[in-house]
Structure 1
Amino acid sequence: QLRRVSYAIKNSSTKLLPRWREIWFPERIMPRDVKTRWNSTYDMLVFAIDYQAVLNKMTDERSLNLQDYELNRKEWRLASELRDILKDAALYFSRDAIPSLTMVIPAMDHIDEVLATNITSANYSHAIRSALSVGKCTLNRYYSKTDFSETYRIAMGE
């Protein structure tokens, strides 16, 4: 829902964007979630949760035709949980260090630890824990690919 409302607001120059500016600061436009930008989901979630009252007001305003994008309490809670999960990765990968191949496995180990810890955490809903399980399976596939990578073995000094 947040992806869709972000896209709708950003791409509406005639109706939604002017209303957004009336309700809130003109300088702040909701970030879009872009598949090719690894951190964009986190940025969008942080923004949406910070501006939850504004987004609720816009989706509630019938003249804007955004009712389909309205989030209920459960969906907002899921968005908050997902933001919290993605925060670790966002902060870890936003460091000043220049990414290199030798950082891959330590990064994957860190992600694996976060996933494994949170999959069983009662702090997160079933939906988030299920998504974490899928993420762990995907990560395990990537782990198995490093076993066959000569470039990786050379970088790690094996």
Structure 2
Amino acid sequence: VTRGEDTDESSDEDDDERSANEDEDSFENGDEDERGDDEGEDEDADEYELDPDQAASDALTIDKLEAKARKSSNISENDLKFGRTTLSKLHSLTKRIHNSPTLTDDLAELCKKHDRKPLKVIKSVPTRWNSVAMESKRAIYLRAPLDSLVTLPRHNSTRGRGRKLKSLKLSQMQWQMLEQLAPILSHFLNATERMSVSKQPLLHNVILIINILEAMLKKAANDTNLHPLVRYGVTLGRDVLNKYYSKTDESIMYRCAIHEFPLPPRGPIQLTMF
């Protein structure tokens, strides 16, 4: 992926992005209707809900780290807008499909046409851990059906009320950025699932998993094949991770747990352990 304008965008790209950005504030603030169930994904909602105070503290931390990172990067406001618009478009599209039985049925039919399992979209929720990872992964699998869905004439009629669905069509560059971001996010999803197992001692895994995530982020940050925005986001993620990593020094329990539950002598830990 290269930076710059996407030549596949239509002439009304600016209007499309403005339409997608209408939902950006609701995505960041978490509207009430964002908390519905999606094919069982919210079955254990309480377990994965973020504490409001912790979320606010994390947001402040990220803002400070981002301000620092911006000073030493060549990421422009247009670059950041492109990234926000990509996620906003995806969220707006999945939200609209999720709330429409007609769109859901049409998507299922298009899945058959494109040789895809008729899966439903997953709608991200700002206050839910890893929901963007799940939303992105599912959308990438359904890319062909989704691209066909947003161009169906009946969902873009001038007589219909509301926004035309084609305004939420992701460009080739936006899809490519999501495809680069999704594998990185999946590591955090897998780590969360690993640390959410019940009736097992897990404290001894904390530092190990942070080490694996940190190494993964470092590798991605140095990967020149990735979109600059992805590398920029990865760098910020690594800064946040290391901030909380340092907090393990405030308690002896983590290292005591490692001592009590040593890893079996199998050689170096593989980064693919997730």
Q: Give the alignment of 1:71-150 within 5 angstroms.
A: 71-91=170-190, 94=193, 98=200, 100-149=202-251
Indicate whether 1:70 and 2:169 are aligned.
yes
TM-score normalised to the size of structure 1?
A: 0.82
CA distance in 1, matches of 2:230, 2:210: 19
Cα separation, partners in 2 of 1:134 and 1:99, compared to 1, 3 Å: farther
Work out which structure has the larger RCO, using CA pairs closer than 8 Å and 6 or more positions apart in sequence: 2
* Distance across 2 between alignment mates of 1:99 and 1:129: 34
SS at match of 1:140: helix
Q: Provide the aligned length of Structure 1 versus Structure 2.
A: 157
Listed one character per residue, the Cα deviations across residues 88-140 of structure 1 (whole Å, up to 9, x for unaligned) are: 44445555975712111110000000111110111211000000011011101
Instruction: Structure 2: state its 5+ residue gaps.
Output: 1-88, 156-163, 261-274
Tell which structure's C-alpha radius of gyration is larger: 2
8 Å CA contact 2:109–2:118 kept in 1: the answer is no
Is 2:101 aligned against 1:10?
no
> Structure 1 runs of 4+ off > 6 angstroms?
none
What CA distance in whole angstroms lies between the structure 1 residues aligned with 2:257 and 2:194? 21
Q: Percent identity?
A: 28
Cα distance in structure 1, aligned partners of 2:246 and 2:191: 23
Distance in 2, Cα, partners of 1:24 & 1:12: 16
Q: Does 1:60 align with 2:151?
A: yes
RMSD over equivalenced CA pairs, Å: 2.7
